[in-house]
Amino acid sequence: MTETQSSPPQDCAGPESFLLDTSAILAFYHDEDGAETVERVFEQRERGEAVIWVSFMTLFEIKYLTLGGHVDSDLLLFRLSTLDLDQVWPDDRIVQFAAEIKALGKISAADAFIAASAMDRSATLVHGDKEFLRLSQKVRQLTI
């Protein structure tokens, strides 16, 4: 994975931008419902038509799930590292977006940061988490 600091949104023409939520990565990893949608996003990237981001908070969630024994940690972390995802780390802008999202209510702080990361990158949030649906006016979404 490539570590990237936050920068202004990518509004210029070019590849489509996606940000994978933890649920999308786990569906892809476990070949669950929605895995084919995530696979199509990766195929777009292979054709040079997409950029794929991952929030620092998704990395955190993957780490604690693996430490808790919920998934095969070595294999998942290896597979995640081979996906070559661009990382989004928080800065003042992302913290502000996350605070605004969290203030709306009924969303976890983790999901607020993930959604804020998608907003910051002008990315479509790829997820299987119903909690994000209430943000459809703020964040473009692709539900798996």
Report the share of the chain in percent with pLDDT over 70: 86
Q: Name the pLDDT band for 12 (thresholds 50, 70, 90).
A: low
Residue 3 lies in a domain: no
pLDDT over 50 (residue 4): no
Q: How far, rounded to the nearest angstrom, does the alpha carbon of residue 138 sit from its chain's CA centroid?
A: 15
Which tens digits make up the pLDDT trace of 69-128? 666 666 777 788 888 899 999 999 999 999 999 999 889 999 999 999 999 999 999 999
Residue 6 lies in a domain: no
Identify whether 7 is part of a domain.
Answer: no
Q: What is the mean pLDDT of the chain?
A: 88
- Would you say residue 75 lies in a domain? yes
Number of compact structural domains in the chain: 1
Question: How far apart (Å, rounded) are the C-alpha atoms in residues 53 and 6?
Answer: 11
Give the CATH number for residue 36.
3.40.50.1010
Split at pLDDT 50, 70, 90, the class of 8 is very low
Q: What is the pTM of this model?
A: 0.85
The domain in which residue 102 lies consists of: 14-143
Q: Is 4 a member of any domain?
A: no
Domain membership flag for residue 1: no
Mean pLDDT calculated for residue range 55-60: 93
Domain membership flag for residue 54:
yes
* 31 pLDDT above the threshold of 70: yes
C-beta atoms surrounding 113 within 10 Å: 24
Q: What is the C-alpha to C-alpha distance for residues 31 and 2, in angstroms, rounded to an integer?
A: 24
Task: Determine, yes or no, domain membership for 115.
Answer: yes
Residue with the larger pLDDT of the pair 103 and 63 = 103
